[in-house]
Structure 1
Amino acid sequence: MINVLFAAKPERWVTYESPLHNALDAAGITAHLSQDIPAQDVDYIVYAPNSDLQDFTPYTRAKAVLNLWAGVEKITGNETLKIPLARMVDPGLTSGMVEWVTGHVMRYHLGMDAHIVNPAQKWITKAPPLAREREVVIFGLGALGTACAQMLLGLGFRVTGWSRSPKDVAGVTCLHGNKGLDEALSRAEIAVTLLPDTPATTDLFNTETLAKMPRGAFIINPGRGPLIDDDALIGALDTGHIAHATLDVFRIEPLPQDHPFWAHPQVTVTPHIAAETRAITASESIVENIRRGEAGEAYINLVDRSLGY
């Protein structure tokens, strides 16, 4: 019997109990799944970083921690965690992110805001360029960034991707490292930020880097709040160097009511809805790693804790 501990808030258990049981049954895995298993008997930990479990030392038999979230920044630095950690890569989450990003890229590309909000009732006759005339830069070429890049390619956009380490995505101009960052910024008529939250990416978009983007560029951030220096972005918006920003993630959530983003005419705030983990497809991903662990196969979506993602 495999013992699987569900270490997350009670409301998550309500959502995941049935999907996890169903996924285990479908995989032919006999397991005891519970929120309450003696630490020394646990084989796998299904985990949310905001759970009460913060000390992994007593879990001497555990083989892996399987994160419920795509973000792992709140657990990678836990020095008591010595076993493999897998982040959540959920097909349902990926689809949601692709749809949200594509929608906002098209909104900016087509200039839809000017038609949707047009109090002066102006007859705006200027047609937008074709997608092939517009360059979109995806900052972060992980699973989510790659999926978004492929969708935008299919719509005809010129797509560049930037990542910290080298990547190769068919049809995408792939840049990496500090040298590639300047070129990526200079190309970014529309920038989509899907980088992880690490010390190396904190305030990556600051006064200096924002100035390297084309005048009139747009920013879409469904990645992590700390990627952008809030004050620097407001400054770039106020000067018109950045035309508009759509932000789905923030340093503090919910975004405080007195934050200047709410009232800024060149900012669209969305309440962290770009993508959400779906319990059914996420449970299938978790159970696949349990199956791999029991079969002696390599886990998928393992976190490199030296990089933080």
Structure 2
Amino acid sequence: MFATEAPDIPFMLPEDDVAPHEVRYLMTWEVPPDLQSRYPNLEVIFSAGAGTDQFTPELVPIHIPVVRMVEPGMTAGMTEYVSFAVLALHRDMLDYIANQSKAAWIPRLIIPASRRRVGIMGLGTLGLSVIEQLKKFGFQLSGWNRSTRSVEGVTSYTGRDELNAFLASCDILVCLLPLSNETRGILNSRLFAALPHGAGLINVGRGGHLVEEDLLAALDSGRIRNAILDVFASEPLPEDHPFWRHPQILVTPHIASMTQPESATKVVVANIRRHQAGEPLTDVVDRSGKS
């Protein structure tokens, strides 16, 4: 696919005979520990996925731009998954799954979407796409972001000072935040206590956002009613982990969204062309900590 889009740019795989000093662009998920010595002329790193917290200054010098993967296929996949997860919690599907294992016929009253409040943490490309899809169902929508972001039809909250007000308006909370020092462990007992009693939780950010013991305690107390989790602190999730057998948790193996080679190739090549022309790269990660 890369050869079709950019036949003039040599595309090398790890097993190929690569001349390290000729490498200008690297697409990867994991960072080789000897990055700087292996590729002394490296100019740009492209993340193979949406996450970029693994590209720390200790591994990747600040002067080398890191570009996050923002491509239509990945955005569509995440939008599908979050829509499914919100609807599953909205329509009590985890309860019905648990009841099926007991052959228990227990209908529940349907609450109209117009009376269900859904909050999105993280109003980047993925969060905005999810919001546009959820609007079609008629949910009451709110969003929380580190920086100010105004979205039509959505009640927006900004920063730590407005976090509790945002949480109080969430019957279903969706975490789509990037992982950083500020957001690590943000899904904890203090946050759960600020949610309405019996709220639902969806985590499709990173496993590091969630304090797992606090979620289990919140489920036991009824503070959180059900949770759908796609990312975990340890992956694959260990076989003896309590999440696997918890009736109020749906576990999926980090499949909410996947980079689609066809569309990702076009996005990466377009960015390389911009760099070659001396134009600014798009979707560069701010690693300065200033915003």
TM-score for the superposition, normalised by structure 2: 0.91
- Per-residue deviation at 1:58? 5.7
Counterpart of 2:12, as a letter, is S
Question: Does 1:89 find its partner at 2:66?
Answer: no
Contact 2:53 2:179 in 1 (8 A): yes
- TM-superposed deviation, 1:245: 0.6
Structure 2 counterpart of 1:141, one-letter code: L
Query: Shift in Å at residue 60 of structure 1?
Result: 4.6
Listed as ranges, the matches of 1:170-209 within 5 Å are: 170-209=152-191
Find the aligned partners of 1:218 and 1:300 in 2 and give their Cα distance. 34
Superposition map of 1:94-113 within 5 A: 94-113=75-94
Q: Where in structure 1 are there 5+ consecutive unaligned residues?
A: 1-18
- Gaps spanning 5+ residues in structure 2: where? none
- State whether residues 74 and 259 of structure 2, in contact with CA within 8 Å, keep that contact through their aligned partners in structure 1: yes
In the alignment, does 2:48 pair up with 1:68? yes
Deviation at 1:80, TM superposition (A): 4.7
Identity across aligned pairs (percent)? 37
Cα separation, 2, equivalents of 1:47 and 1:123: 48
Matching residue's letter, 1:43: R
- Give the count of matched residue pairs: 285
Query: By how many angstroms is 1:94 displaced?
Result: 0.8
Secondary structure at 1:168 match in 2: coil
CA distance in 2, matches of 1:190, 1:85: 33
Which deviations, in whole Å up to 9, do the C-alpha atoms of 1:29-67 show, x marking residues without a partner?
A: x111113432322222222225x3642256454332122
| Higher alpha-carbon deviation: 204-213 or 60-69 | 60-69
The aligned residue for residue 6 of structure 1 is none
Q: Out of 131, 138, 146, which is 1:156 matched to? A: 138
1:243 aligns with 2:225: yes
Partner Cα distance (2:205, 2:235) in 1: 14
Deviates more, 1:167-176 or 1:250-259: 167-176
Deviates more, 1:79-88 or 1:95-104: 79-88
RMSD between aligned residues: 2.0
Kept after mapping to 1: 8 A contact 2:120/2:173: yes
Q: Which residue is 1:34 aligned to?
A: 12
SS at match of 1:187: coil
The amino acid that maps onto 2:156 is C
Letter in 2 for 1:249: V
Greater CA deviation, 112-121 or 233-242? 112-121
Report the CA distance shift for 1:308/1:268 in structure 2 as closer, same or farther (over 3 A).
Answer: farther
Contact 2:201–2:226, Cα closer than 8 Å, also in 1: yes
Query: Residues 278 and 80 of structure 1: is their aligned pair in 2 closer, same or farther, counting only changes over 3 Å?
Result: closer
Separation of aligned partners in 2, 1:79 and 1:225: 21
Partner of 2:105: 122
1:224 aligns with 2:213: no
1:294 has 2:272 as partner: no
SS in structure 1 at match of 2:45? strand
Contact 1:292 1:298 in 2 (8 A): yes
TM-score, normalising length: structure 1: 0.86
